[in-house]
């Protein structure tokens, strides 16, 4: 005999919200992550006093990145999770992973499947 449990829309939305919150909670300052796919990080780099230019770097699968925590971005004040190298060195100003969920104001959360916590 096959039994099926039907969920209401509200139950499904609550479960989805809980899963999204749990996913977001893993991005804490100091946590190391392994790239499961090549990942592009972009931001800004100083070229002199009060001078900035765009910067980008691609990290191959297997690379280790360090979460530098969440703060507002330098230029436009968007909430974002920032990233550094394995040794905690800053990659660039406002180092953000490309391919995020939640849109610009959603915290710049990496798309699921790009990273795993490195033990």
pLDDT tens digit string along 72-100?
887 777 888 899 999 989 899 888 898 88
Q: What is the pLDDT of residue 119?
A: 75
**Cα–Cα nearest to 65, from 31, 111, 19, 17:** 31
Could you tell me if residue 113 is inside a domain? Answer: yes
Q: How many domains does the chain have?
A: 1
11 falls within a domain: no
Q: Which are the contacts of 46, defined by CB distance < 8 A and separation ≥ 6?
A: 52, 93
The pLDDT, as a whole number, for residue 80 is 85
66 in a structural domain: yes
**Does any domain span residue 62?**
yes
Residue 10's pLDDT band (cuts 50, 70, 90):
confident
- Residue 13 forms part of a structural domain: no
Average pLDDT over residues 10-34: 82
Whether 19 maps to a domain, the answer reads no
Give domain status of residue 31, yes or no: yes
Residue 33 confidence class, pLDDT cut points 50, 70, 90: very high
* Residue 77 domain boundaries: 27-117
Q: Does a structural domain hold residue 12?
A: no
């Amino acid at each position: 005999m096959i039994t099926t449990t039907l969920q209401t829309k509200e139950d499904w939305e609550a479960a989805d919200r809980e899963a999204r919150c749990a996913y977001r909670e893993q991005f804490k300052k100091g946590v190391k992550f392994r790239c499961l796919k090549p990942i592009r990080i972009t931001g800004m780099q100083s070229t002199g006093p009060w001078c900035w230019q765009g910067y980008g770097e691609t990290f191959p699968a297997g690379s280790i990145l360090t979460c530098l925590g969440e703060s507002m971005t330098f230029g436009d004040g968007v909430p974002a999770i920032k990233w550094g190298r394995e040794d905690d060195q800053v990659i660039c100003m406002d180092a953000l992973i490309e391919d995020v969920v939640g849109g610009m104001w959603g915290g710049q959360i990496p798309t699921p499947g790009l990273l795993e916590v490195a033990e």
